[in-house]
């Protein structure tokens, strides 16, 4: 039990030491302390997880301290450890430890490394607080903690305007979701009289069918509570409607993208829904909503991923899409499959992000795939690592023999959606299958544009600047250029046939070992995590030990689906691979022809379905107008005018008039005194 205390609080201690010590510790000292702490936490987390896998562990709670006593509300700060917690401990500490090590190489030239590593460790602590929470308030503490840490990390290069704007956007959009989460917590306490998660989950089934007053109406209690809680998950996990912050968050350093936006923070919403699964099971309408939002996000984000040219943004939209899979799995009741995909996704998505960082490092901070090409011979280790990640995310495998990680977890989700048999679940199955085709297409498109074809490095402004002027400052690394909506992103670049090695004078180089070792370890997870852990996550009710709702009937139905359902993910993966190969290897002019033929659709998808423009018109600009009214008319025109400015003006005017009376001549003062005396005597006589 003491190990869980070390696992959770050691990153906090490292963050405090590195943050306060900063330059006094030096770069190496700060990196050693934070990275060492995370590897210790990781080493302690795996035995906890494996104990649950083997059945040698049971759920337990470790009290930390007395926390709140306020009227009827009383709860302690305690760490809950069960199967769900153990999974998240492994995911968080493993990815975070590897990201810390990777950052030794990636951030080597940055002068603020102690601050960066302190932020990484602070984020890890907050995430650990979230997943070990034994009550909703403690979960909310971790929930807001990761929000704060993500704001600091996304805006780490705060002198870069786009990074600062992205950090603010992430913070504001998440506050919208968090308002729903807070209302859900308040309502849960109102209904159940406690914030203790075990007590709430035990009482939730009895509340099914009850009603509560909300917005002047009598509505189903559990539906309202679960929808409010799920709004928080939509914000944190970037689901459709509250997704707009996630792609912009790629402005932060690449290790941040891997840690926050691939493996941990964005999965907090999925974890929360699974943790509170008895509540959601008591609210069928809420589960339908979760399924619809998850399926819609899955296909929506996948379509956008097919048009992006920034390598990190492709992977970011892929993350958004994969989170949609997890949510509609939970929506159809397959919570084990949702957590299994969360587990495997952590390995292959962190691998893809860190692999992309290695490519960007080799290409001198260039992120636009149109300026890559032919890199597999220049950075072969990075190529093989990203190939493993691509095989995992696209779900390559042979049924009944072996497959990469996504082959087991994503296929399980699609089978569960089909097996659930409802209209909504069948819709999710169809959208999920089509999204799998798009996932295969944009994943292989990324690989072909980056590692195959003719090198196109000399067209990159970053590479030309590197050749002529030396290394760029990381603060000045611009995001990949965004072409005009009508400009074809592929034709002019892919048509070039110049040999770039001699022309550009720049030779991409492999990353240092501190970056390659994490890639190698994550590759092992991307290859074997599904094959090794599928029996426990999907087929073992004992493994879950009541930490989630485990529907054995649904699991049996998953295994009994028709063969064509089991083969569908492989078939759509092969179709997506063929389309990508045909368009980017066999016939590189095909994308330009497609864009010309379907230009309105391309522009619509390329511009992310115009969500940002819609929100700017509906919310941002009206908010600015209202703000200007209160600023100009209220603050400046009223408060300042009649308050501080008015009082100051009155004093200033009075001073000027008083100054005129003070002439400085003695006879003037004597005259005034005489007149005053005469006036006084006259008043007394008249009186």
pLDDT tier for residue 505 given thresholds of 50, 70 and 90: low
Cβ atoms within 10 A of the Cβ of 104, count? Answer: 22
Residue 388, Cα to own-chain centre: how many angstroms? 23
C-alpha–C-alpha distance, residues 214 and 340, integer Å? 36
* pLDDT (average), residues 15-23: 88
User: Helix, strand, or coil here: 77?
Assistant: strand
Q: CA 298, CA 238: separation in Å to the nearest integer?
A: 11
Q: CA 222, CA 339: separation in Å to the nearest integer?
A: 23
Confidence category of residue 484, pLDDT binned at 50, 70, 90 = very low
What pLDDT, on the 0 to 100 scale, is given for residue 433?
95
Predicted pLDDT of residue 2: 76
pLDDT of residue 54 exceeding 50, the answer is: yes
Cβ-contact 319, 305 below 8 angstroms? no
69-78, 119-128, 660-669: range with lowest mean pLDDT: 660-669
pLDDT level of residue 85 (50, 70, 90 thresholds): very high
Percent of the chain with pLDDT over 70: 92
Of the listed ranges 267-276, 369-378, 388-397, 472-481, the least confidently predicted one is 472-481
Pick from 412, 462, 119: which is nearest to 265 by CA? 119
Structure tokens at 179: 């308002």
* 90: helix, strand or coil: helix
Give CA angle at 180 (174, 186), nearest 5°: 130
CB 356 within 8 A of CB 372: no
What rounded mean pLDDT belongs to the chain?
A: 87
Q: What 3-state class would DSSP assign to 122?
A: helix
Predicted pLDDT at 476: 36
Least confident span in 227-231, 349-353, 496-500: 496-500
Q: Per the structure block, which two tokens stand in for 162?
A: 């786009």
End-to-end CA distance of the chain, in Å?
A: 95
Mean pLDDT value of segment 42-59: 91
Q: Which residues of 342-351 are buried (b: 16+ CB within 10 A; e: fewer)?
A: bbbbbbbbbb
pLDDT of residue 503: 40
More confident residue, 380 or 497: 380
Closest to 184 measured CA to CA, from 253, 145, 137, 218: 137
Cα–Cα distance, 22 to 11 (Å, whole number): 16
For the chain, what percentages of helix, strand and coil (3-state, to nearest 5) are there?
75, 5, 20
What crossing angle do the helices spanning 405-420 and 563-581 adopt, rounded to 10°? Answer: 130
Give 462's pLDDT tier (boundaries 50, 70, 90): low
| 3-state SS track over 541-601 | HHHHCCCCCCCHHHHHHHHCCCHHHHHHHHHHHHHHHHHHHHHHHHCCCHHHHHHHHCHHH
Cα distance between residue 184 and residue 266, in whole Å = 19
How far apart are alpha carbons 533 and 555 in whole angstroms?
A: 16
d(CA 128, CA 121) in angstroms, rounded, equals 11
Q: Is pLDDT of 48 > 80?
A: yes
pLDDT one-digit tens code per residue, 526-576: 999 999 999 999 998 889 988 899 999 999 999 999 999 999 999 999 999
Alpha helices in 394-422 (DSSP H): 405-420
SS3 for 175-226 is HHHHHHHHHHHHHHHHHHCCCEHHHHHHHHHHHCCCEEEECCEEEEHHHHHH
pLDDT, tens only, 128-157:
999 999 999 999 999 999 999 999 999 888
Flag whether pLDDT at 648 surpasses 90.
Answer: no
CA distance 141 to 593: 52
Q: What is the pLDDT of residues 354-409, one digit of tens each?
A: 999 999 988 888 888 988 888 988 999 999 999 999 999 999 998 888 999 999 99
pLDDT score for 482: 35
pLDDT of residue 493: 39
- Residue 232 C-alpha from the chain's centroid: 13
Mean pLDDT of 462-491: 42
Q: Give the whole-number percent of the chain exceeding pLDDT 90.
A: 55
List the domain boundaries for the chain. Answer: 158-606, 613-686
Closest CA to 124 of 52, 28, 18: 18
Closest among 96, 155, 103 to 126, alpha carbons compared: 96
- What's the pLDDT at 287? 95
Neighbouring C-beta atoms of residue 483, cutoff 10 Å: 14
Distance, in Å, from the CA atom of 120 to the CA atom of 41, rounded to the nearest integer, reads 14
Instruction: Give the model's pLDDT for residue 333.
Output: 92
pLDDT band at 99; cut points 50, 70, 90: very high
Tell me the Cα Rg of the chain.
30
- Average confidence (pLDDT) over 443-458: 89
Specify the pLDDT at position 616: 87
Q: Are 188 and 225 contacting, i.e. CB atoms less than 8 angstroms apart?
A: yes
Residue 470 has pLDDT above 60, yes or no: no
Residue 477: is its pLDDT beyond 70?
Answer: no
User: How do beta strands 60-70 and 73-81 pair?
Assistant: antiparallel
- Residue 506 pLDDT: 65
From residue 508, how far is each of 312, 358, 372, 448 by CA, in Å?
Answer: 18, 10, 10, 17
The model's pLDDT over 29-46, given as tens digits with 9 standing for 90+, comes to 999 999 999 999 999 999
Q: Could you read off the pLDDT of 235-254 as tens digits, one per residue?
A: 998 898 898 888 888 888 88
Phi and psi dihedrals of 219, rounded to 5? Answer: -125, 165
**Each residue's pLDDT tens digit, 657-676:** 777 777 777 777 788 888 88
Closest to 243 (Cα-Cα) out of 162, 324, 343: 324
The sign of the CA dihedral 488, 490, 493, 496 is negative
């Amino acid at each position: 039990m003491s190990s869980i205390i070390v696992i959770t609080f050691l990153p906090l201690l490292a963050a405090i030491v590195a943050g306060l010590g900063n330059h006094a510790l030096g770069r190496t000292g700060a990196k050693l302390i934070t990275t060492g702490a995370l590897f210790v936490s990781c080493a302690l987390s795996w035995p906890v997880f494996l104990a649950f896998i083997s059945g040698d562990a049971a759920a337990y709670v470790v009290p930390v301290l007395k926390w709140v006593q306020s009227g009827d509300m009383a709860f302690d700060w305690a760490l809950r450890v069960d199967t769900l917690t153990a999974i998240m401990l492994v995911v968080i500490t493993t990815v975070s430890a590897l990201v810390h090590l990777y950052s030794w190489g990636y951030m080597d030239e940055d002068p603020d490394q102690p601050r960066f590593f302190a932020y990484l460790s602070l984020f890890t602590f907050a995430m650990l607080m979230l997943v070990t929470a034994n009550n909703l308030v403690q979960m909310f503490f971790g929930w807001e903690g990761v929000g704060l840490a993500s704001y600091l990390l996304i805006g780490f290069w705060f002198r870069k305007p786009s990074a600062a704007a992205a950090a603010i956007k992430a913070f504001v959009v998440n506050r919208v979701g968090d308002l729903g989460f807070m209302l859900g917590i308040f309502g849960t306490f109102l209904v159940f009289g406690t914030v203790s998660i075990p007590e709430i989950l035990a009482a939730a089934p009895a509340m099914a069918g009850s009603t509560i007053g909300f917005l002047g109406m009598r509505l189903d209690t559990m539906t309202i509570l679960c929808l409010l809680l799920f709004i928080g998950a939509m914000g944190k996990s970037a689901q459709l409607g509250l997704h707009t912050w996630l792609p912009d968050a790629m402005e932060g350093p690449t290790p941040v993208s891997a840690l926050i936006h691939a493996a941990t923070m964005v999965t907090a919403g999925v974890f929360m829904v699974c943790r509170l699964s008895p509540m959601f099971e008591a609210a069928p309408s809420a589960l339908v909503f979760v399924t619809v939002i998850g399926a819609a996000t899955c296909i929506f984000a996948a379509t956008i991923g097919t048009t992006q040219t920034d390598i990190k943004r492709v992977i970011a939209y892929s993350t958004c899409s994969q989170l949609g899979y997890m949510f509609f799995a939970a929506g159809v009741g397959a919570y084990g499959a949702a957590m299994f995909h969360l587990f495997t996704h952590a390995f292959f998505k962190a691998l893809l992000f860190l692999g992309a960082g290695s490519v960007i490092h080799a290409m001198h901070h260039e992120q636009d795939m149109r300026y890559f090409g032919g890199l597999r011979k220049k950075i072969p280790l990075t190529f093989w690592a990203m190939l493993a990640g691509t095989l995992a995310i696209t779900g390559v495998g042979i049924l009944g023999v072996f497959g990469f990680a996504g082959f087991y977890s994503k296929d399980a989700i699609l089978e569960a959606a089909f097996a659930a048999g409802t209209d909504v679940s069948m819709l999710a199955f169809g959208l999920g299958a089509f999204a799998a085709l798009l996932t295969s297409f944009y994943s292989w498109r990324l690989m072909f544009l980056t590692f195959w074809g003719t090198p196109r490095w000399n067209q990159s402004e970053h590479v030309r600047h590197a050749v002529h002027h030396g290394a760029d400052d990381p603060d000045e690394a611009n995001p990949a250029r965004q072409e005009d909506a009508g400009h074809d992103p592929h034709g002019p670049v892919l048509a070039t046939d110049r040999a770039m090695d001699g022309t550009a004078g720049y030779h991409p180089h492999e990353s240092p070992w501190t970056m390659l070792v994490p890639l190698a370890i994550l590759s092992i997870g991307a290859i074997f995590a599904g094959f090794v852990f599928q029996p426990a996550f999907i087929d073992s009710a004992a493994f879950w030990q009541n930490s989630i709702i485990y529907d054995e009937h649904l699991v049996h139905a998953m295994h009994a689906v028709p063969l064509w359902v089991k083969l569908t993910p492989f078939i759509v993966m092969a179709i997506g691979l063929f389309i990508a190969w045909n368009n980017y290897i066999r016939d590189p002019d095909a994308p330009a022809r497609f864009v010309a033929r379907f230009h309105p659709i391309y522009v619509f998808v390329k511009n992310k379905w115009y969500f940002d423009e819609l929100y700017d018109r509906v919310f941002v600009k009206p908010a600015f107008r209202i703000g200007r009214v209160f600023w100009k008319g209220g603050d400046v025109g009223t408060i300042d005018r009649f308050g501080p400015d008015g009082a100051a003006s009155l004093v200033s005017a009075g001073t000027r008039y008083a100054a005129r009376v003070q002439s400085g001549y003695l006879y003037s003062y004597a005259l005034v005194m005489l007149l005053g005396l005469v006036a006084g005597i006259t008043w007394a006589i008249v009186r």
